[in-house]
Amino acid sequence: MKHQILENFEEKFYFKTSHLFWHLLSGLGGLALLAGALIFLWGLTPSMKPEVKKPAYPAPIQVSAGEIKQQITPATRSSEITAQATNYSISAKREEQLSAAAPADSTMRAYMASYDSLKILLPPAKFRWQTVGHWEQTWWERKWVVDVYGIDDRLQSAYEKANAKNPIAAKQLLDVYLGLLALFPVDQRMTVLRAAIDFSRDDVATSAHHVSLLRAAAANFSTNNADFVETFSTFGKKNPRDGRRFIEHANAVLPKFDSLARPATLKTLTNSYYNYFNDISKQEEATNLFVGMLNEFEPAQQAKVLAEYYELYRDRNYAREQEITGIEAQYQNELNEAEAAVAAKQAKKAAWRALGWKIAAGSFVTVAFLALFLVLLSIQRNIKMMREVAMANK
């Protein structure tokens, strides 16, 4: 009788209570699993970078034409400056390399046609095509010393710098040189070729663009003197950041000056870049303000006026440059703070991702473990039902 009472108590209280309890825990585990998954997914979302707007620069303080006139004295018309240039060809060794690498005889013939055209522009009777040197004996070695580099070796150097490793690429580069050399008289062509080769670099496309800038500059000068080509080439070689843009700016500005003043103006542009700006964007800004008042000065004075203007502009805008420097520093600090804020958000989300993963994993294990108890309770209910059916059949 006592045993029967305990069984009834277990069935009506213990089992029902534990069934409710384990279901409640399983439900909480499922909610925790969902919450962990949501936290993990939120941790995967990208962190937005705070927007940082760059403040506007203060307007430049202009220099009037009257102020410039006070600084200058009458000057004689400047004489035209011209430039000299040189040209180079391919060595016999390079010829063999190109011939071996040639995909077809037609490409090599096309290259040789351009090569022969170069020999017409630079006749071997007037220009040295082969390198000349001599042997020197020192205390410890005997070495070859080059006296004069020939055009062939100069061309080989150009091909190597421009990565022209096959006849097609070599012909493309050579044709660009031919187009530039043809603008100059024969006595200037060697200087022009040497300048073009010095300004060649990286690849054929870049080298061709550089030479095209030199060719465009020829419209602003007399081709009887190739000094301007050498000036541009040297500047571009020394200033890879601003070289091309400087030549483009000069090609756009120089036509507004008198033709006789352009050589001196180019010298002023070059020297002023180093003395006052060291940044082509700043020089462009200053020059564009000057061009509007250019007609107020005599052609013979234009180059000198530009030099005086740059000096006045630098002095007048010194405080502005300091303010711009402060703006740049503040802007960079704000960018650094924005980067730090993004990094902090990403670190925080990484921590939440780890927490969400742990919660989801722990909840999954918990629910799986609680399911075992629910299975036991289900077995108990089935046994009770079978016992009741058996008793009813007796």
Domain boundaries, the chain: 2-56+337-393, 75-278
Provide the CA 118 distance to its chain's centre, in angstroms: 35
pLDDT reported for residue 101: 47
Residue 120 structure tokens: 């017409």
At residue 222, φ and ψ (nearest 5 deg) are -80, 130
Q: Using an 8 Å Cβ cutoff, are 225 and 207 in contact? A: no
Per-residue pLDDT of the chain in tens (394 residues, 90 and over written 9): 545 555 554 555 455 565 566 567 667 777 777 777 777 777 777 766 667 676 666 666 566 566 666 566 544 333 332 333 333 333 444 444 444 444 457 888 899 999 999 999 999 999 988 888 778 877 788 887 777 888 988 999 999 999 988 889 999 999 999 999 999 999 999 999 999 999 998 899 999 999 999 999 999 999 999 999 999 999 999 999 999 999 999 999 999 999 999 999 999 999 999 999 999 999 999 999 898 888 888 888 899 999 998 988 888 887 766 677 777 777 778 788 778 877 887 788 788 778 777 787 777 777 777 667 666 667 766 776 777 677 777 6
DSSP-derived letter for residue 86 is: E
Cβ neighbours for 340, distance < 8 A, ≥ 6 positions apart:
none
State how beta strands 132-137 and 142-148 pair. Answer: antiparallel
Taking a C-beta distance cutoff of 8 angstroms, is the pair 29, 370 a contact? yes
Taking the C-alpha atoms of residue 249 and residue 256, their distance in angstroms, rounded to an integer, is 12
Q: Would strands 132-137 and 85-86 be described as parallel, antiparallel, or unpaired?
A: unpaired
Give residue for tokens 């108590």: 9
Give me the pLDDT at residue 18, please. 58
Distances (CA, A) of 183 to 120, 206, 232, 378: 14, 21, 16, 100
CA 251 to chain centre: 24
DSSP symbols for 157-182: HHHHHTT--SHHHHHHHHHHHHHHHT
The confidence score (pLDDT) of residue 370 equals 66
What DSSP element (H or E) covers 143? strand 142-148
pLDDT for res 85: 33
CB 247 within 8 A of CB 213: yes
CA dist 264 and 78 (Å) reads: 7
Distance from C-alpha of 236 to C-alpha of 245, rounded to nearest angstrom: 9
Contact 62, 312 (CB under 8 A): no
CB atoms within 10 A of CB 209: 13
Nearest by Cα to 151 from 216, 212, 87, 226: 87
Q: Are 188 and 226 in contact (CB under 8 A)?
A: yes
